[in-house]
Chains A and B, each alone.
Chain A
Amino acid sequence: MAILVDENTLVVVQGITGKEGSFHALRIKAYGTRVVAGVTPGKAGQSVDGVPVFDTVAEAVEQTGANASLILVPARFAADAIYEAALGGVSLIVCITEGVPVQDMATAVNYLAGKPSDLVGANCPGLISPGKSNVGIIPGEICSPGPAGLISRSGTLTYQIVHELSQLGIGQSTCIGMGGDPIHGIGFVEALSGFERDPQTEAIVLIGEIGGSDEEQAASFIAEHVSKPVVAYVAGFAAPPGKRMGHAGAIITGSSGTAQAKADALEAVGVRVGRNPADVAELMERALGRT
């Protein structure tokens, strides 16, 4: 088992004939992901390394049975691509694109509420269930199958922590990069809920950063609904207030959104918070009863 993506995930790549689109489509296909279709308007009938290209997501779904979409299109087309995927009938939409206007994301996220399509992203590395399916740009070779469920607001920090876990021989059920934007699709709460139900997942790693209140909301959810051990990391203790640290959502506004407040909220509900990525892996080792 795993959550959201597995060997039954059939991926359509929106923007497959673009530079980024073709590069990543081939990369995840080589990993073993079932990439069944691509979409680029006006390029129906072409193929990219044997993957058929369609004009619309709806046609791709009808012809290939695709049930997940990976969006690798420029920011100005991203929201439109999300609506096309939802109306085309895929149940999982993964939007990698960075720099999408927040108004577009706010509208898309509210439109999708209550609809049968889950959104991951935007501005995210996607997600991977190691050994089964990689829908995004997380380097598959650093992951291995195992009992750790991972959800993160950051891409490379996820790689760093997966790397530390691998050094200790701890594999992953599913790693999800939820993205660094202030308004996003699936977040900590949805992932925690999925990992809690997933039989493969024995313990959960939550990787947060400054800005917003996602970590505080996660802490409340953990207190009520999560019985599996959760280990966390929060980046940005050294970040000054009022400065945006790379991610659109990584900013301390006034006195809210600090790393300390987030770590405190998580620790208050029994979550162990690591001081650095290596420390997180060691805490995870303990949570899994391996030491």
Chain B
Amino acid sequence: MDLYEHQGKDLFARHGIPLVEREVAESPAEARAAAERMGGRVAVKAQVQTGGRGKGGGIALVASPEEAEAEAERILGEGFKGTPVTRLLIERLVDIADEFYAAMTLDRSVQRYVAMVSAEGGMDIEEVARTRPEALRRAAIDPVLGLKGFQIRYLVGHLPPEAREGTAGVLARMFELLRAADATLVEINPLVLLAGGEVVALDSKVTVDDNALYRQPELAGLRSSFPVDPTQARANEKGLQYVKLDGEVGIVGNGAGLVMSTLDVVSQAGGRPANFLDVGGGASADLMATSLEVVLSDPAVRSVLVNIFGGITRGDLVAQGIVEALGRVDAQVPIVVRLDGTNAEQGREILERAGHPRIVPAATMLDAARKAVELAHAHAGGEA
């Protein structure tokens, strides 16, 4: 779960990471009032989960409350890169002496956290690593030990002397936050040295581990602040892993790897997958029926491929679910079904007995992919 900047900054504040004066505004009038309280010179920042706000018009630096109001109206009206904007962060403008970058995240390749500090702020970190590797320092953090003093001293050692102590404090607090909030990423870009000598976070990017939300009730509560597609919401509610894609062959399978592989064979057969949907292990007939409903609710879908290899999942229950779904929804497109593994034989019999005109049996995964793609194309042609 990626937090908005203002939500991340609330976490920063709680963990003692220095920030500049800030207020959330949801209307041009609120933006103006906030700017007035801050003396007029403020930044008006779109709250979105997309990057590139600075260059893309999502951040406006203004000199008066009137300008703040006008820019707020523009951003709230236009949105940012196609995403509607409902909230702005208004921040007092500060005199910046120098800009840096600081981040902590998980490094899968070494199975540890990694802390990074760059002397170049405001830049894409991958670009810094490529073009100015000497400006970037990294330290791997053993989660058993935590972030140690010698690592902090190394990480800040290439910054200007007047910024080191402040940055060291920020790093220690970032790590506390990372652990306390079950974050998988805490990034500050830029981290700035003010003319007065203080080191403050001008931006925040925080990603929270979805698996840990059960023990982060407050953060879990923020979920409702993110825009969710209704189909996605329905799938999530039932515990289904659903990802909308832009093709025409709907996919239902069990197990993430098998579903990914199904998307691949559909692509190889010349089709484009409309979605990723994993019903998970041990799917019941009801869950199977819901899965089909979710996939069929996508108007772009021209055929559906159900690919099940039963381990814990039973083929007979899957078949029952398909028949049940066809009783609940009026399927306008063919459903190609490939069943193997546990109770697959019984499942195939159930489908055959049901004799539903939309059900198309397939013997193998590749055969199923070919049929689903052919039918999708035929169906699209028929409608044109």
Contact = CB atoms under 8 A, between A and B. Distances in A.
B332 interface: no
A182 B258 contact: no
Given A159-B311, A163-B341, A212 B108 contact: yes
Contacts of B267: 237-238
A250 B256 contact: yes
A286 interface: no
B257 A76 contact: no
Nearest to A181: B211
A182 B106 contact: yes
Given A159-B309, A180-B257, A250-B260, 13 more contacts: A75-B214, A101-B209, A106-B106, A111-B144, A125-B311, A155-B255, A163-B309, A209-B256, A238-B245, A243-B243, A246-B241, A250-B256, A278-B365
Contact of B341 (A111, A139, A182, A254): A139
Contacts of B273: 238
B89 interface: no
B268 A244 contact: no
B263 A99 contact: no
B276 interface: yes
Interface in B202-240: 209-212, 214-215
Contacts of B241: 245-246
B256 A247 contact: yes
Contact of A102 (B211, B256, B366): B211
Interface residues of B, number: 51
A154 interface: yes
Contacts of B281: 137, 155
Contact of B264 (A158, A236, A246): A236
Place the interface of chain A in its size category: 35 or more
A152 B311 contact: no
Contact of B254 (A102, A103, A156): A156
A283 interface: no
B111 A109 contact: yes
Which of A158, A159, A217: most chain B Cβ within 10 A?
A159
A245 B273 CA distance: 13
A191 interface: no
A156 B255 contact: yes
A209 B261 CA distance: 9
Q: List 10 A-B pairs, minimum CB-CB distance, nearest first.
A: A154-B257, A156-B255, A246-B256, A157-B257, A101-B212, A156-B258, A235-B260, A238-B263, A238-B267, A212-B108
